[in-house]
Amino acid sequence: MKEFEGKTAVVTGAASGIGKALAEKFAQEKMQVVLADIEEEALEKTVEGLRKYQHRVIGVKTDVLVEESISELFAKAKEQYGNIHILCNNAGIGANSGNKAIWEIEKNDWDWVMGVNYQGVLSGIQTFLPHMIDHGEEGHVVTTVSMAGLLPGAGTYGVSKHAVMALTEALSRDLIAKNTKINASVLCPGFVDTNIDQSERNRPSHLMESKELESESGSQEEDLSSAMMSAMLRQGKKPEEIAEIVFEAINENIFYILSHPAWDETLRNHFDNILSRKEIKRNSEEEISKFFSPREDGEKY
């Protein structure tokens, strides 16, 4: 996709973090932008901030867990700006399972994480893609995945991100096979300075954890895990850096957007491990500690 001025982009999870930075970048490129987020107050603040610079933007409160909410987002975007050209399925949540094994994680956790991180993306594709294909103009779909979508581990979060990786890979093949003018990308960042570690604030009441089933030691493990994650995020790349990389990838039609070269060696080792038919390795304390140490090349994990 080469032409951006006057086109329309829809970004979910746009009130903060990567989504906000993407919306700002598209607006700077003179696009019309529809910002969607479940946090209404933060969304309004972001929209007002963009309007101060005379950008053409609207905000639509959206809960990607609810198909009807995504349908309403589509209807409002189309009514306001007509044809939609870029869809960023960016809304997502982090999930802290501590050291729980997959079989120990309760159903509410699975339903929440898979509902937002996978079903929300699928619903976005099913709702927007027919229109984007039918209007016949160039367009692009970006799914925010994660390094967790390429590497093993990370509990429910990792499972959800592998799922949307596979989904978007299949989408890309289908878009090519059907000779459409729409392309797709997966954004696979490492650590980014966002508030994804505070996702619990948006968990719906009907999908709350059964705290009475949680042991004291389990709670302590989750607290430690949360503290480590928060520390790694705070020293990560800035969302604005990621938005620049994504925009360039859309312009150059790059499918795998790997924004953090510091992970290249880890990825290479993982895929070498697969081709060697070896067992999955668990990160050692030494390997984990490297995430907290500055690299000589200045790259961030």
Torsion of CA 95, 98, 103, 107, to 10 degrees: -40
- Residues that are catalytic: 157
CB 73, CB 36: distance < 8 Å: yes
Q: Which residues pair with 61 in a beta bridge?
A: 37
CB 117, CB 157: distance < 8 Å: yes
The candidate with the shortest Cα–Cα distance to 37, out of 56, 57, 8, 64, is 64
- C-alpha distance from residue 37 to each of 19, 52, 100 (Å): 9, 20, 30
CB 73, CB 119: distance < 8 Å: no
33: Cβ–Cβ under 8 A, 6 or more apart, which residues? 8, 9, 10, 11, 23, 26, 27, 50, 55, 56, 57, 58
CA pair distance 270, 264, nearest whole angstrom: 10
Per-residue DSSP letter, 266: H
